[in-house]
Structure 1
Amino acid sequence: MAKYQQLIDQIQQQISTEIWLPGEKLPSLREQVSLSSMSLMTVMHAYQVLESQGWIQSRPQSGYYVAPRAEFLNQPASHQKVQLAESVDINAFIFDVLQACRDPHIIPFGSAFPDPGLFPQRQLMRSLATVSHTLKPADALNNLPPGNEALRKTLAQRYALQGIQVSPDEIVITNGAMEALNLSMQAVTEPGDWVAIENPCFYGALQVIERLKLKAVAIATDPQYGMDLAELSRALGRWPIKACWVMTNQQNPVGCTLSKEKKQQLVTLLEQHQVMLIEDDVYSELYFGSEKPLPAKAFDRDNRVLHCSSFSKNLVAGFRVGWVAAGKHAQRIQRLQLMSTLATSAPMQLALANYLGTRSYDSHLRRLRQQLEQRKNQARSSLKRHLPATARINDSQGGYFLWIELPRQINTTELYYRALQHNISIAPGKMFSSGEQYANYFRFNTAWSWGEAQEAAVAKLGGLISDMLAGRSD
């Protein structure tokens, strides 16, 4: 490990354990040189990295100070803890918002995807070219469900590195995580069944519920601690819930990660009620810090967790390759896939298996996490500079979304349309609930490179919000 990284880790640990409190002055550069026996250039580099990551702040002619604590929003007390939806009709609005993000002239703060420039495109194209030259007619058949054997074996090995025993035969390769989630829900429910979801939740869950004609029990989800398990327990006792869809790590939109203890409690609770858990875990590789969070699948002892993920958010979106560790449901999911999309693209599966075999993936992930953390801190700082003081930003240690609360008189759907007139997109709170309780919230994508255009867009967004607070038309 480089010396500057050792100093970074040491200071981060000291701040985390409250040796240095927010607002306190850190040792000066020369004092740190004396304390650490490192060169001035090494110490300067470490401090610059810590500042870019939001751990410390520099003050002209004064020195370096510990940055303010992260801010976490609370679940609004006025909101219902449990909300019922016997029908869901939100797909058209979601489609319009996502389509707007495709315009190259739009600043895509409302996008669901990270900046593709963060991905190793050249290496992936090299892998695709390699397998294309050796592709045989039989490969189309060999990569039908459950999918490419080498790719499934690699995924099983990555589960094993976290102490999770998943056989390659339990894994089904899918067309992205959305197909994995769709097929998983379809495998364990029938039209008219009740399912439990988070509130707010990933809009994909609402789309699946609408498509499969299911009924939703939306459980209050705290921006810091996640789903309210006490309310979930009461709901399980009142309604014949068949499945529960939860995003356990870096939840979209709020950003929270369930604690290890809470994941275990969730799995145990659902086992007691014989309810299936559809675990949406597409952001688990995008953690900040030294330890990858476990999925709820790690605590599955009754084969009730269908763990879904993909490479779309951390490696390549265009390949559309995901998977589900489905356990005893793997065969049913394969049959459902054969009746819908038939199979995931054989060349894309082979290319990913080839790339993962180069052992470059983990190096890429380390760089990606560092870049996302830096960009997230830049975006947060910009938002705090330009948004009205009444705006509150939920923090999270990972991913690339910020969940922002505005005063109750601000409707973020109206803000979305006003911002779109200035080529700025956001993801309004209406996208993440079947009701109106998040009408004054929006999700902000921080994964894109930061420059003058992004800074100006945030300043304009702040001005639009101020105009709405003052009752001025755009």
Structure 2
Amino acid sequence: MAGFRYEEVAGSIAGQVEAGVYGPGDRLPGVRKLARQFGVSVSTVVAAQHLLEDRGVIEARPRSGYYVRLRPQRPPQAPERTRPEGQPTQVTGQALVLRVVQAANEPDTVQLGAAVPHAEFLPTHGLQRAFSGVPRRYPGRATDYLFPPGPVELRQQIARRMADAGCRLSPEEIVVTNGAQEALVLSLRAVAEPGDVVAIESPTFYGLLQAIEGQGMRALEIPTDPDEGISPEALALALEQWPVAAAMLMPNFGNPLGHRASEGRKREVVALLEERGVPLIEDDVYGDLAFEAPRPWAAKAYEDRGGVLYCGSFSKTLSPGLRVGWAAPGRFRDRLEYLKYAASAATPAFPGFAAADFLARGGYDRYLRRVRGEYARAVARVRRAVARYFPEGTRQTDPEGGFVLWVELPAEVDSLALYQAALAEGISIAPGPMFSPTQRFRNFLRLNCAQPWNGNFERALRRIGELARERSG
């Protein structure tokens, strides 16, 4: 009888996890407290814990107890691998992007659209202290032009952080930029010309599409798996069929899929592109936000010929308004440095020095240890709400990092119409066509999970689900 009892206890605890009583990363009560709660013996609780550990719901931490795994369950249904038509195309329909991101500045709008983390997820007080100390720690330099490649203090800190991504770089190999978007545009300009073909994941971050569109280039969508990212086989076929000048990819927690390419797949893609002489522009802005350690390596870690132009920033970690980004452009460094000077001359001094100080004092590592669990819990809460409120047949991704969720609605639901209806009620979402150069993914949407969980936020998710059900027939 005791054997059946421990299964009941395990089921009850798993139900509490599913209901959100215990979120990802939360510590479970001790065995004696659980024994009292369920009216069973300590040995029964221990057996239940072992069963939950075997099922991947909880994990033991030495001398600390049992914790809910950051990714306790995998959803039964996720979107399938994309199958774009496979022809280069002009980027269209990106005017909508500006309207979606502008909603992030509307105080009365529930922000589920732009991938902008709420201030509660950011180290605001630590950054304020870093900013206030800039004039004292950098006398006379805080008001100077910071010409390319940028302040050496910041480049030193970035180089140290890049080691965690598997990249051994010197400060001289890094160029500081005004956010990752500038790094992406400069990288594209450094390796390609107007009219060239650029291979991308499908779907992909609209910032990459805007960079391609802004340079008069054409995008080539490559089939992409929601877990592993771009298909190396499909990419190889595209390279044989088309004169691809560059590839722009997000291997680590790509936006909007949240996928994480395995280390083997990164190595395979980099080797393929190097063999064909095609540069890879890598957007790794979410790389530091893995839900579980260790941080995944960047694709750049696997290069042999300097053909990977790595782009990063602190916009998704320290502050979107900081606008501190960088490029590690490999053999294209001199070209990119000149393009940076020609485009914007210099980078703002105060944000660069403040970021350097924050990193040097260890604040960034302490912050990451905290925020990774917070983002995991935030994504898990939104996933549960989507499963509860959205129409039957809805699929969703299961990210391992970052804070965005890609949702596939029933085929008859038009996410552009859903976006308009939700915005009329003060709710912003990102409709799927924004993430495709040909406005594919009409029945998809992306949700920003990096918002405080409260009644207003949950009501917004429930209302989106209601609006979607009204349109699902």
TM-score range, shorter chain: 0.7 to 0.9
TM-fit CA distance, 1:326:
1.3
Shift of 1:407: 1.1
Note if 1:198 corresponds to 2:201: yes
Name the residue aligned to 1:149.
152
State the shift of 1:155 in Å: 1.4
Greater Cα shift, 138-147 or 430-439: 138-147
Q: Kindly state the Cα deviation for residue 191 of structure 1 after the two structures are TM-superposed.
A: 1.0
SS in 1 for 2:334: helix
Per the TM alignment, residue 360 of structure 1 is displaced from its structure 2 partner at its CA by 1.7
The 3-state SS of whatever aligns with 1:340 is helix
Aligned residue number for residue 125 of structure 1: 128
Cα offset, 1:205, TM superposition = 1.1
Distance 1:32 1:351 in 2: 53
Question: Within 1, Cα distance between the matches of 2:44 and 2:320?
Answer: 43
* Match 2:233 to one of 208, 230, 234: 230
Q: Equivalent of 2:276, from 273, 278, 282?
A: 273
Shift of 1:194: 1.2
Q: Match of 2:431? A: 428
Given the alignment of the two structures, is residue 460 of structure 1 paired with residue 437 of structure 2, yes or no? no
Q: C-alpha deviations, 1:353-382, integer Å up to 9, x for none?
A: 111111121110010001111111111111
Deviation string 1:283-339 (CA, Å, 9 cap, x unpaired) is 001101121100100101011001110011011111100101112222211111111
SS at match of 2:105: coil
Residue 330 of structure 2: aligned partner: 327
Aligned partner of 1:216 in structure 2 is 219
Matched-pair contact (CA < 8 Å) for 2:166–2:297 = no
Tell me how far 1:239 sits from its aligned partner. Answer: 1.4
**Cα offset, 1:426, TM superposition:** 0.8
Give the alignment of 1:362-381 within 5 angstroms: 362-381=365-384
- Shift of the alpha carbon at 1:80? 2.9
Cα deviation, residue 134, structure 1: 4.7
- Matched residues in 2 for 1:405 and 1:356: separation? 38
Q: Tell me which amino acid in the other structure corresponds to 1:50.
A: V
Verify the 8 A CA contact 2:186 2:340 in the aligned structure 1: yes
Residues 223, 394 of structure 1: 8 Å contact kept:
yes
Asked whether the 8 Å contact 1:70–1:395 carries over to 2, the reply is: no
8 Å CA contact 2:148–2:341 kept in 1: the answer is yes
Alignment check: 8 A CA contact 1:90 1:206 kept = no
Q: 1:158 aligns with which of 154, 158, 161?
A: 161
- Tell me, what secondary structure is at the counterpart of 1:186? helix
Which residue of 1 is the match for residue 7 of structure 2? none
How has the CA–CA distance of structure 1 residues 46 and 376 changed in structure 2, closer, same or farther, with 3 Å as cutoff? Answer: farther
Residues 425-472 of structure 1 deviation map (CA, whole Å, 9 limit, x = unaligned): 1100010002243000000111111111111111111111111123xx
Matched letter for residue 75 of structure 1: R
User: What secondary structure is seen at the aligned counterpart in 2 of 1:95?
Assistant: helix
Q: State the Cα distance separating 1:33 from its structure 2 match.
A: 6.1
The residue number in structure 1 matching 2:291 is 288
Shift of 1:268: 0.4
Query: Does residue 92 of structure 2 align to residue 80 of structure 1?
Result: no
RMSD: 2.4
Task: Please say which of residues 284-293 and 128-137 is displaced more in the overlay.
Answer: 128-137
Tell me the distance in 1 between the aligned counterparts of 2:282 and 2:74.
Answer: 33
User: Can you list the C-alpha shifts for 1:257-281, whole angstroms capped at 9, x where unaligned?
Assistant: 1110000000000011100000000
CA distance, structure 2, for counterparts of residue 99 and residue 403 of structure 1: 20
Aligned partners of 1:316, 1:126: CA distance in 2, in Å? 14
Contact 1:83–1:219 (Cα < 8 Å) also in 2: no
Is the deviation greater in 159-168 or in 94-103? 159-168
Q: Percent identity?
A: 37
Q: Alignment partner of 2:272: what SS?
A: helix
User: How many equivalent pairs are there?
Assistant: 425
How far apart in 2 are the matches of 1:390 and 1:272? 42
- Residue 351 of structure 2 is matched in structure 1 by 348
Residue 174 (structure 1) aligns with: 177
- Asked whether the 8 Å contact 1:429–1:443 carries over to 2, the reply is yes
Q: Which amino acid aligns with 1:399?
A: G
In the alignment, which residue of structure 2 is the partner of 1:89?
Answer: 92
Flag the 1:381–1:31 CA change in 2: closer, same or farther, 3 A: farther
Q: Distance between the aligned counterparts of 1:225 and 1:122, measured in 2?
A: 36
CA deviations over 1:35-86 (Å, ceiling 9, x no partner): 799xxxx99x966x518x562xxxxxxxxxxx5656432125xx4352420x
Q: CA deviation at 1:139?
A: 5.0
Provide the secondary structure at the position in 2 that maps to 1:110.
coil
Distance in 2, Cα, partners of 1:396 & 1:120? 23
Q: How does 1:242-321 map to 2 (within 5 A)?
A: 242-321=245-324
**Paired residues of 2:256 and 2:405 also in contact (CA < 8 A):** yes
Equivalent residues of 2:431, 2:446 under 8 A apart: yes
Post-superposition offset of 1:161 = 4.1
Q: Residue 141 of structure 1: CA displacement? A: 4.9
Unaligned runs of at least 5 residues, structure 1: 1-10, 13-26, 56-66
Q: Is the 8 A contact 1:181 1:308 kept in 2?
A: yes
SS at match of 1:285: helix
CA 1:340–1:436: 2 relative to 1, 3 Å: closer
Q: Counterparts in 2 of 1:380-399, with a 5 A limit?
A: 380-399=383-402
How far the C-alpha of 1:343 sits from its partner, in A, is 1.4
Judged with a 3 Å threshold, the aligned counterparts in structure 2 of structure 1 residues 352 and 32 are, in CA distance, closer, same or farther, namely farther
AA of the residue aligned to 1:339: A
- The structure-2 alpha-carbon separation of the partners of 1:92 and 1:161, relative to structure 1 and needing over 3 Å to count, comes to closer
Whether 1:31 and 2:43 are equivalent positions in the alignment is yes
Q: Give the drift of 1:138.
A: 4.5
Q: Which runs of 4+ in 1 moved over 6 A?
A: none
Structure 2 residue runs without a partner (length 5+)? 1-12, 15-30, 36-41, 51-60
Name the CA shift for 1:161/1:285 in 2 (closer, same or farther; >3 Å).
closer
Matched residue type, 2:209: L
Cα gap change, 1:138/1:151 in structure 2, threshold over 3 Å: closer, same or farther?
A: closer
Q: State the shift of 1:230 in Å.
A: 1.1
CA distance in 2: counterparts of 1:319 and 1:461, whole angstroms:
31
Instruction: Report the residue type matching 1:146 in the other structure.
Output: P
Q: Which amino acid aligns with 1:31?
A: S
Could you tell me whether the CA contact under 8 Å between 1:72 and 1:224 is conserved in 2? no
> Displacement of 1:140 after TM fit?
5.0
AA in 1 matched with 2:322: F
170-179 vs 130-139, which moves further: 130-139
Distance 1:163 1:204, change over 3 A: closer
